[in-house]
């Protein structure tokens, strides 16, 4: 019996095509595996800090930067600068990130247990720096004066700060909520660059 050329195809003709199809699938699987491994190695090498946000209204998830706070550590430390800390870290952690106290640091001039806030400046005074006067003409207060909690009398006790300028500082604080940096003092009318430089080691936020 003769095979019909339009309907019967010899099995031998299918085998090379089948082998080619299986080989292509294996190659694609290997390529996909290599790409996945490569992406994992790249992410591990970069050490990017990201967290996955909650799904959006479209059901997609987006990567956002990990939470943290930024503080400016200045004064008598070994490596002053801007540092990223975790929420809940304390002044002691910020000073440690800045290399620790310098040899001439007045270590009792800062509250190491205080929790840091985003955008603040931590100034470590040097030994011998004139501390701000205490309210009521008493003994000198230990450490720089906190601009966000200082009273009119305490501000008046700072060098070259009289009652009128103390009132301006309090008015600026009331209008703007709080001081986020010692440099904000430069925005108070009557405080120039020279006065700000003289006050920098005597106050904090």
Q: Do 130 and 34 fall within a single domain?
A: no
Q: Do 142 and 179 fall within a single domain?
A: yes
- The reply to whether 60 falls in a domain is no
Q: Do 43 and 75 fall within a single domain?
A: no
H helices present in the chain, as ranges: 14-46, 91-97, 152-156, 163-176, 193-199
**Distance, CA of 126 to CA of 143 (rounded, Å):** 10
- The reply to whether 57 falls in a domain is no
Q: What is the pLDDT of residues 29-74, one digit of tens each?
A: 676 666 665 555 444 443 333 333 344 444 554 444 457 899 999 9
- The reply to whether 127 falls in a domain is yes
Specify the number of domains making up the chain.
2
Q: What is the pLDDT of residues 101-136, one digit of tens each?
A: 999 998 888 888 888 888 888 989 888 765 444 333
Position with higher pLDDT, 44 vs 4: 4
- The reply to whether 53 falls in a domain is no
Q: Do 38 and 78 fall within a single domain?
A: no
**Domain residue limits at 94:** 69-204
- Give the closest residue to 197 by CA, choosing from 154, 160, 150: 160
- The reply to whether 2 falls in a domain is no
Q: What is the pLDDT of residues 128-165, one digit of tens each?
A: 765 444 333 333 344 688 898 888 888 888 888 888 89
């Amino acid at each position: 019996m003769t095979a019909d050329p339009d309907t019967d195809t010899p099995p031998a003709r299918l085998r090379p095509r089948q082998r080619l199809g299986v080989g292509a699938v294996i190659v694609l699987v290997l390529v996909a595996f290599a790409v996945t491994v490569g992406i994992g190695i790249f992410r591990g090498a970069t050490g990017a800090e990201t967290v996955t946000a909650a799904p959006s209204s479209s059901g997609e998830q987006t990567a956002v930067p990990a939470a943290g706070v930024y503080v400016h550590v200045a004064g008598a430390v070994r490596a002053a600068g801007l540092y990223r800390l975790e929420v809940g870290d304390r002044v002691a952690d910020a000073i440690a990130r800045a290399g620790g106290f310098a040899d001439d640091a007045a270590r009792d001039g800062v509250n190491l247990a205080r929790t840091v806030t985003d955008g603040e400046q931590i100034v470590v005074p040097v030994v011998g720096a004139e501390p701000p006067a205490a309210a009521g003409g008493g003994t000198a207060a230990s450490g720089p004066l906190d601009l966000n909690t200082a009273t009119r009398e305490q501000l008046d006790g700072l060098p070259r700060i009289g009652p009128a300028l103390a009132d301006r500082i309090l008015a600026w604080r009331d209008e703007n909520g709080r001081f986020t940096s010692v440099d904000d003092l430069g925005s108070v009318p009557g405080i120039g660059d020279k006065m700000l430089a003289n006050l920098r080691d005597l106050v904090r936020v």
